[in-house]
């Protein structure tokens, strides 16, 4: 079976099984890949991450996905030139001038210092020369990234609790550039490791998460790792827990996404 046919078939089966959007509950006419396919090498994404989605939610996710792809699809520890990534950045320059402007704001000296501090003199300079130095998480980039992570929280709740969330998603980004294994340690506190494979190919070097879920309470928590440089803690809750958590200091510090959005 050709790739296009296979995709069509998988979409049809997903919509037959549940014809309602996993984000907002409206009639679903399409499917959404979450995390977005664009963050994976050669757009090969893990099985079990395609969800029923309505056209407006699908469209709403697209702008943020492109930004997330530029930030998340790059491997910072590989020193090979990354041509697909440079193409992604080029198209971002055309489609999201707001993000591009944000990335141009930092001074070259600041970037050189930051990369040398994070990666050492040699690798730091190499990465910067390969253009990785342009990425700066200003307010526009941060918002796009948090939007993608919020959607991921909703999608993972749907996948593991077996229904859509009607409460809220909280996201706490974890800066991984310190390469101290901080996120690995946090991850060990969450019991269940999710598979991240396609046709037995292990994709956990690109996307991997551990989680816990209580479908009866409507509570889901995950620690997500994307490549070497990026991580997030995601908490998803139905009511009445969502309102209770929102009143706690932790809930007030984390970024919130309402369900439905």
Q: Which residues contact Zn ion (rule: CB under 5 A)?
A: 21, 23-24, 26, 54, 57
Q: Closest approach of Cβ 139 to Zn ion, in Å?
A: 26
Q: Closest approach of Cβ 232 to Zn ion, in Å?
A: 22
Which CB, 24 or 135, lies closer to Zn ion?
24
Helices (H), the chain: 3-17, 55-72, 83-95, 97-103, 108-119, 121-129, 139-161, 182-187, 241-246, 249-253
Which CB, 51 or 85, lies closer to Zn ion?
51
Which CB, 156 or 226, lies closer to Zn ion?
156
Which CB, 54 or 145, lies closer to Zn ion?
54
Structure tokens given for 124: 């730091």
Angle at 49 between CA 95 and CA 60, to 5 degrees: 35
Which of 210, 173, 219 has its CA nearest to residue 192?
210
Q: Closest approach of Cβ 19 to Zn ion, in Å?
A: 12
Whether the ω angle into residue 97 lies within 30 degrees of 0, i.e. cis, is: no
Q: Closest approach of Cβ 10 to Zn ion, in Å?
A: 19
Q: Closest approach of Cβ 162 to Zn ion, in Å?
A: 18
Which CB, 23 or 230, lies closer to Zn ion?
23
Residue 48 DSSP label: T
| Residues 217 and 240 sit within 8 Å (Cβ to Cβ) | no
Distance CA 40, CA 221 (A): 23
């Amino acid at each position: 079976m050709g790739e296009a046919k296979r995709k069509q078939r998988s979409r049809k089966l997903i919509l037959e099984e549940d014809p309602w959007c996993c984000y907002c509950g409206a009639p679903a006419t399409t499917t959404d890949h979450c995390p977005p396919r664009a963050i994976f090498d050669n757009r090969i994404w893990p099985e079990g991450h395609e969800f029923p989605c309505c056209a407006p939610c699908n469209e709403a996710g697209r702008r943020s996905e492109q930004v997330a792809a530029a930030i998340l699809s790059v491997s910072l520890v590989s020193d090979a030139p990354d041509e697909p990534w440079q193409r992604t950045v080029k198209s971002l320059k055309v489609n999201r001038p707001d993000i591009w402007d944000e990335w141009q704001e930092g001074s070259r000296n600041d970037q050189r210092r930051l990369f040398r501090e994070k990666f050492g003199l040699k690798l730091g300079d190499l990465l910067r020369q390969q253009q990785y130095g342009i990425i700066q998480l200003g307010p526009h980039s941060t918002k796009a990234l948090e939007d993608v992570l919020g959607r991921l929280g909703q999608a993972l709740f749907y996948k593991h609790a077996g229904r859509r969330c009607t409460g809220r998603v909280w996201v706490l980004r974890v800066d991984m550039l310190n390469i101290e294994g901080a996120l690995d340690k946090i991850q060990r506190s969450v019991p269940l490791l999710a598979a991240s494979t396609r046709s037995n190919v292990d994709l956990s070097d690109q996307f991997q998460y551990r989680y816990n879920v209580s479908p009866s309470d409507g509570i889901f928590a995950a620690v997500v790792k994307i490549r070497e440089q990026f991580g997030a803690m995601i908490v998803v809750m139905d009511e009445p827990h969502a309102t209770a958590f929102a009143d706690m200091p932790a809930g007030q510090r984390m970024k919130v996404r309402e369900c439905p959005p």
